[in-house]
Amino acid sequence: MLAAIIAGALCPWARALAFLIPWLIVGMLFVVFLGTKFSRESFQRSHFWLVLANVLMGGVGFAIGWAAGGRDIAVAGFFAGIGPTATAAAVITGFLDGRVDYVVTTFMLTNPIISALMPFLMPLALGHATPAASLDIALSVLLLVFLPLLVAVILRRVYPAVTTWPGRAKNASFFAWVLALFLIMAKTSHFLRYEMSDAPGVLLLKIAAVSLVVCAMSFAIGRLIGGRTFAREASQALGQKNNNFTIYLAMTYANPLIALGPTFYVIWHNLWNSWQLHRHGRKK
C-alpha cells in the first residue's frame, strides 16, 4: 500500500484512469456484502455513538480550521471530518482480521444518515444554500452503497454457494484496493501539482495540518468508542472516511481549495492503514 501511495504521487498522468475508482470500490464492497450476514448481534450500542461522532467530527474539523486560519480552512476541515465510513473500511478490517460485519453495519448507518444531513449541514458551513445537493448525494449513495448490496442479497438467495466467493477473492480484493489507492493518489497528485499550484504554501500547510489532526482524532475517538471489544473495528469505521464523496461535494459546491481538506485526509488515513497492515502482517 505504501508503494501504491508513492507510485501514485509520482504518476499524476494516471488520473486519466480515475473513472475506474468507483467501480473498483463497488466491486470490493460487493464481495464484502456477499460474505457478510447481518443479524441482531451485528448492531451494537456503540454504533449509535459512532454515528453521532461522525456528525460531530464535521463541526470539530470546522472549529479547528477556524482557529487555524479562518473560514476557508474551517470549511476544508468540515469536509475532512464529516465524511461517512469509507466503502473500503470493511475490506481493510477484514485484512486486519477484525469483525467485518461491525464495520459494514457502521457503513450502512453512516452513509445514508450523513447523506441525508449534508444538504442541511453544508449551507451552515459554506454560508450559502445548496439546493441541488440532495439529488446528487442520493444518486451517489444509490450507486456506491445500495446497488452492490441489492445484487449481493439477490445472489445469496438465488445461489447460496456464492457466500464462498469472498474467501477465495480476498487477495483479489486487496489488489483491487491497492490499484484504487494508486489511482486516488495519482488524482490527488495531479490536483496538487496543476490545479492548486498557485495556492499559498502556508495555506496548504494549514489545511494539511488541520486534516491530519482531524484524521488522528477520528481514529482515536473511534477506538475509545469501540472499547475493548471493538476497538480496532470502531477506530477503522470512524477513521477511514468516504473521501471521494466529500471531495466531490467540496469541488461541486465550494472550490478546489476547500477540497484539499478531504484530499489530504486521503493521504493521512491511507498512510495509517499501510502502517496497520504492515504491523499486523509482522505479528502474524
Beta-carbon contacts of 239 under 8 Å, excluding residues fewer than 6 positions away, are 215, 218, 219, 222, 269, 272
Q: Which domain holds residue 214?
A: 2-35+44-283
| pLDDT for residue 258 | 86
pLDDT of residue 184: 78
Q: What is the pLDDT of residue 202?
A: 79
Number of domains in the chain: 1
CATH number assigned to the domain comprising residue 71:
1.20.1530.20
Question: Radius of gyration over alpha carbons of the chain, in Å?
Answer: 18
**End-to-end alpha carbon distance in the chain:** 18
Provide CB contacts within 8 A for 95, sequence distance 6+.
170, 174, 277, 280
Q: What is the pLDDT of residue 156?
A: 80
Q: Can you give the pLDDT at residue 167?
A: 66
Low-confidence residues in the chain, pLDDT < 70:
35-42, 129-134, 137, 141, 144-145, 166-170, 196-200
Q: Look at residue 232 in the predicted model and tell me its pLDDT.
A: 93
The 3-state DSSP composition of the chain as helix, strand, coil percent (nearest 5) reads 85, 0, 15
- 247 and 263 in contact (C-beta within 8 Å)? yes
- E strand or H helix that includes residue 204: helix 201-239
